[in-house]
Amino acid sequence: AALKGKVWRFQVSAALKEGRVTPGELCQRCLALVRSTSFLNAYITVAEETALKQAEESERRYKRGQPLGVLDGIPVAVKDNFNTAGIETTCASNMLKGYISPYNATVVQKLLDQGAVLLGKTNLDEFAMGSGSTDGVFGPVRNPWSYSRQYKEKSVPKSHSEDEESNWVITGGSSGGSAAAVSSFTCFAALGSDTGGSTRNPAAHCGVVGLKPTYGLISRHGLIPLVNSMDVPGILTRCVDDAAVVLGSLAGHDPKDSTTIQDNFKPFELPDLPDVSKLSIGIPKEYQAPGLSSEILALWSKAADLFKNAGAKVIEVSLPHTRYSIVCYHVLCTAEVASNMARFDGLEYGHRSEINKSTESMYAATRREGFNDVVRGRILSGNYFLLKQNYENYFIKAQKVRRLIANDFLKVFGSGVDILLTPTTLSDAVPYMEFIKEDNRTRSAQDDILTQAANMAGLPAINVPTALSERGLPIGLQFIGRSFQEKQLLTVAKWFEKQVKFPMIQLEEVKRPNHNVFQHEKSASFS
């Protein structure tokens, strides 16, 4: 079942077709892993009953020889800011705790239509506002690599108890639950959302592939909005091929989302032996940002050399407005947040305060009780930027700067560059106790710096796990492509993935009911 070497590839989809494993068995094994890794806090809701029922239906289709596609019977997880009919959708908040949506988000429905088995909803920062997956009401997500042999061998705690309580590292965010779920083998693919890097950032810290597609390629219908003009559903998998398969199932026009492309999307297969020799790879000099670790800088340089040695043209390029990008992003982000959060007023759905002396007092108390400080802070900032006397100076100016940032990318791609190669994060994952020393606003400004420009320009970008740091933690690099050129982007990412041969996580502390039955769960690929 497994090939010898650094990566065990058990093609689960093929195994399902050939009857070597049934969807029910696969689902049971993944659910057992979810239970044994519950200390990671990756899941908010585990939909065990629903998942087993979906697995049974999948099993019947396989017995008839009529699977719905490559995703039939494959266990997946979904970030808890996508609406799911019959399963609680909380956004990790008091405001929506207990809320059950009457409908599925389009991306969730498409997964179910392909026969995927939905294991549950994953943890996040409250309303996806954060870069650590530490600010939700259900508590922080722990990075599976905190419990890996690779990390434990490199970290030298003063005592065992200190190791347990203060040495674990964050997942990044805000889709940290989805990244941890994929990284710890509890599912084969997961959905995140990406507004300023919320899929790519945790993917980098958890050693998985994180794809942010072009804005408009995948429907946002049913994704609880943060910043409508930047939000994109993201895809987290253990290899690039799997990301391409999931993208093929989700992409295309949705009449319920007017921002989706009108053209039909044709799913594609990536070549087995990608050729990068005819490509031009751009290295943006502005991404050598303050705070970038020397380790990541060296890895970025090595990656550029890999392309050069393969015959690709590697050139330094300039995206001059990048330095204004993070400030511009936070003005636009908070302004749209203020608008989007207005719907949570305690009248139609979600939490309603018992303080009801007047409608105004009920509104105020509901929002005070339902939102954490981070969400309230962003609402306050956004409303300030949208005040009549500030609108021109802040919001309109930020929109103009956003256009300049997008034009920088257009110029670079117009000059013949095919793909941009950049770091994804400034460093590897930091310990939780260190991360919480700084406030959410400061952390987000630092952690989004290398990722949010792709959201401002609406471009596709992907994190590819590249190597382990000196501390034994994952480091990823980011590829940014031209609009709607996902095939080229993923082809380059696949070539790079093959070159770097990122090591498999060796989880030591997972209490498994039967170690051997999980061998193929550790596969890189289901496709």
Just list the catalytic residues: 79, 174, 198
Please check whether residue 192 is in contact with residue 201, taking contact to mean a CB–CB distance below 8 angstroms. Answer: no
| φ, ψ of residue 28 in degrees (nearest 5) | -60, -40
Does an H or E element contain 121, and which?
strand 117-122
* Residue 64: other Cβ atoms inside 10 A: 8
Measured CA to CA, the distance from residue 461 to residue 476 in angstroms comes to: 12
Measured CA to CA, the distance from residue 178 to residue 200 in angstroms comes to: 11
Residues of 485-498 as b/e, b for ≥16 C-beta within 10 angstroms?
bbbbbbbbbbbbbe
Tokens coding 376? 């309230």
Does an H or E element contain 46, and which?
strand 43-46
Beta strand pairing status for 75-79 and 117-122?
parallel
E runs forming strands in 250-405:
280-284, 313-317
For 56-110, what is the HEC assignment? Answer: HHHHHHHHHCCCCCCCCCCEEEEECCECEECEECCCCCCCCCCCEECCCCHHHHH
Measured CA to CA, the distance from residue 459 to residue 319 in angstroms comes to: 14
Radius of gyration of the chain (CA): 22
* Residue 257: other Cβ atoms inside 10 A: 15
Measured CA to CA, the distance from residue 512 to residue 197 in angstroms comes to: 33
Number of helices (H) and strands (E) in the chain: give both, helices first: 18, 11
Closest C-alpha to 319, from 492, 82, 88, 480: 480
What SS3 class is residue 207? coil
Measured CA to CA, the distance from residue 86 to residue 381 in angstroms comes to: 35
Measured CA to CA, the distance from residue 276 to residue 495 in angstroms comes to: 8
